[in-house]
Amino acid sequence: MSNDDQLVLVTGANGFVATHCIVELLRSGYRVRGTLRSSAQAAKVRNAVGTEANATRLSFAEADLNLDDGWTRATEGCTYVLHVASPVPRQVPKNADDVILPARDGTLRVLKAATSSGVKRVVLTSSTAAVFYGRKRDGSEVYSEKDWSILSEEVSAYDRSKTLAERAAWDYVRSLGPSQRLELAVLNPGLVLGPLLMDNASISGEVVGKLLKRELPGCPDLGFAPVDVRDLAAMEVKAMTHPAAAGERFILALEHASMLEIAQILARHFGPQGINVPTRRVPSWLLKCVALFDKTVAVAVPELGKRQDVSCARAREVLDFTPRSLERTVIDMGESMLKLGLVPTPKRKGRAPASATESA
């Protein structure tokens, strides 16, 4: 079958990662169906995707991770599924199950529907959160796909949700009989950065957004294993068809990068445009104080002083993962935020009056 004869389902079509996956699929010639909790979002997604690819082969289906209804219709006729949708809280939830249950049970709903519809392969977007939590994170260890997070109440609800959802997916696929064969490939990206196509910035964009808007007094001891959303989308499509990807996990991330490194990149690029990015180091207690008033910041407090050291060697070897630089990724995200109005455009200083000599 040629690509234009194959239909691919992308869950959570209005999400940051999903919009880029749709663009990558359309550019590769596939027909795409995206799921939305409400069809009212369809026009906005189509317009955003249409700025990067021909959206005439894009359609939509209503489906909610919390509900059984809609998933069989969504997967009907699909050759592949990219399961990208997952709840990402913008603040610490009062009840962890509000995040964990939709992620785990929603993943199982997608897989069961894919099985009943005869889908060939599902690519699940998991996270490095399913790899290194509950482990030493002082720089002495580098984690790979063989590692799994060790869960406890100290691990955040989101990080637990990604681990439990991925484990549930692997258990489900292993339980299938010969007549219910379904291939599964899993991607474990780090912090996803890069250009936004829509103005609904994901929680991952808060790092860049808060620095550009000076909503933090400086850079606390935080660090990430970042990946460009465009590189992640390319690997989603690669993992969808690569023969060696079935039954495998793939970490997708650059080396650990501190918040200070990200701020310095932004300052070099956007400083001349009039955006004063905070680049001084600040103590951890100051972030904890800010977190009392900013619930989004509170999500990051447990990460203070911890590293995210992972290896993407398997992805490089099997999927030819060749990531963009951190600088390109961070700058492009900042530029997109300015373009979409998520960050105030700096006021240009007027030209100084001409001197007497110049007037003459």
Per-residue model confidence as pLDDT tens digits over 117-149: 999 999 999 999 999 999 999 999 999 999 999
Q: Which pLDDT tens digit goes with each residue over 18-68?
A: 999 999 999 999 999 999 999 999 999 999 999 999 999 999 999 999 999
- Which is more confidently placed, 98 or 251? 251
Residue 348's pLDDT is what? 59
Domain range for 11 is: 3-274+276-339
The continuous run of DSSP H or E covering 257 comes out as strand 257-258
Between CA 109 and CA 105 the distance in angstroms is: 6
**Sheet with 183-189: strands ordered across:** 58-62, 31-36, 7-10, 80-83, 121-125, 183-189, 249-252
Residue 46 to residues 36, 58, 128, 158: CA-CA distances in angstroms? 12, 7, 30, 29
Residue 56: CATH number of its domain: 3.40.50.720
Candidates 94, 120, 162, 306; catalytic one: 162
- Is 162 designated active site? yes
Q: Which of these, 274, 168, 256, lies nearest to 212 by C-alpha position?
A: 274
Residue with tokens 């060749």: 322
Residues 6+ apart with CB under 8 A from 25: 8, 10, 32, 82, 237
In a domain, 355, yes or no: no
Residue 112 to residues 30, 35, 245, 330: CA-CA distances in angstroms? 23, 16, 20, 37
- Which is more confidently placed, 98 or 351? 98
Between CA 293 and CA 5 the distance in angstroms is: 52
Length of the chain: 360
Question: How many independent structural domains does the chain possess?
Answer: 1
Whole-model pTM?
Answer: 0.92
Q: Which of these, 328, 241, 323, lies nearest to 25 by C-alpha position?
A: 241
In a domain, 259, yes or no: yes
- Dmax over CA atoms of the chain, in Å, equals 89
Phi, psi of 72 (to 5 degrees): -65, -40
In a domain, 220, yes or no: yes
Q: Is the pLDDT of residue 354 over 80?
A: no
Between CA 350 and CA 336 the distance in angstroms is: 25
Q: Which pLDDT tens digit goes with each residue over 154-212?
A: 888 889 999 999 999 999 999 998 888 899 999 999 999 999 999 876 788 899 999 99
Between CA 48 and CA 55 the distance in angstroms is: 9
